[in-house]
Amino acid sequence: MQFKDSIFLLTALSLGAVARPHAHERRHAHPQPNAVVEEAPAVTDPAQVAEKVVERAVGDEVVATINGVLVSWINEWAGGVDSTTSTTSTSTSTSSSSTTSIYVPPTTTTAQPATFTSNPAVESTVTPVPTSSTSGGDWFDVPSSGDYSTSGFGGNTGGKTTGSLDWDYVGNVGSPWGSNIIQVSEANANQYKHVLRFEGAESTDQHVVFWNTYGPNGKMDGFWSPNKALEFKVPAGGVAYVAIDDNSQGGWAAGSDSVPLSGIGQYAGTWGEFDMSSAKNNGFSGWDVSSIIAQLAGLDVQGMKICNHQGEKCSSIATGLASLLNAYTSADQGNPSLAVSQPEGPVRLVVNLDWSE
């Protein structure tokens, strides 16, 4: 998908494998006649998922739909997490269209690869939230000083460009990995630059998992289990607040009992995706809802709606695909223009989980 001033996000990662590597034009992805995409069956049992994840071995081809374009690369991740950054795997896709005009600060193209360590495993329970209040005001207010809090974040790893394609950019993933995404209290939420208010379902608890697009080892696999930057539960009828640091790109998914997984271990609930104050794109931010993975995994599509706190700039998918607005389904994998964006500045979003009209 593509935003104003070429803000980019990862749309979704498709399931299965392509029989032969092949190139696709950036805006028009058309599989070749001899290409076969095999969809893996939906798997939610952890033991079965573990077996499936092992099958995605080093050397296997991974296929992704990014910015609305089908691309593929050779997997170099053998599972597990270590404490250093390795070189980003190279995409086998090429672009035959003209280069998109994007703003890239000089420091982005010359920055050295960031060093970051993996985040400790997160318990599958409600994450403790700070309870002290130092700010006052509503959660969507902004500091009058214009200075935003970074309390609770880890180190900012900056960003680096690894190739010529839009998605060949690794933004801030936090040091340790995942510490760029934190849960905060309602009382202190307005002190942060990018804040998401999660509103729970009417009758079921919702488990939420966040990730960075690029995982702990520097590969574009942050959305594969067991990677998780943050995990928490939103009780039925409850709310939770999340703050995200500058220049962070990633997403989240939710589920009533747990976040479902695809047959190869990807988080397969309906996705929310974000790009916050992108250093590559002159500070623009963007967001969208995507059901691509859930559909390809053969799972029911759970609703989600993301709007700014004024109820504008919305992206939504109603439960069961009953309605769509600026959102991605499996039919939109060649369309780079559906996401929502805003110019540089604070972001205040409301996320409705298990949303129906």
- Identify whether 158 is part of a domain: yes
Q: Which range, of 15-19, 261-265, 317-321, averages the lowest pLDDT?
A: 15-19
Q: Give the distance from CA 222 to its chain's centroid.
A: 8
pLDDT in tens, 291-333: 999 999 999 999 999 999 999 999 999 999 999 999 999 988 7
Model pTM?
Answer: 0.70
Sign of CA dihedral 114, 261, 61, 39: negative
At 279, is the secondary structure helix, strand, or coil?
helix
Structural domains in the chain (count): 1
Cis amide bond preceding 130, omega within 30: no
> Model confidence at 168, in pLDDT bands (50, 70, 90)?
confident
Domain that includes residue 173, residue range = 1-77+100-357
Indicate the pairing of strand 347-353 with strand 194-199.
Answer: parallel
Residue 156: pLDDT above 90?
yes
- Identify whether 91 is part of a domain: no
CB 94 within 8 A of CB 71: no
CB 304 within 8 A of CB 350: no
Indicate the pairing of strand 206-212 with strand 230-234.
Answer: antiparallel
- Identify whether 95 is part of a domain: no
Torsion of CA 325, 328, 329, 331, to 10 degrees: 100
> What does the pLDDT read at residue 1?
41
Scanning 62-181, the segments in alpha helix (DSSP H) are: 106-110
pLDDT in tens, 89-115: 333 333 332 222 222 222 222 233 333
> What does the pLDDT read at residue 165?
79
**Which of 337, 252, 251, 344 shows the shortest CA–CA distance to 6?**
337
- Identify whether 90 is part of a domain: no
Q: Rg of the chain over CA atoms, in angstroms? A: 19
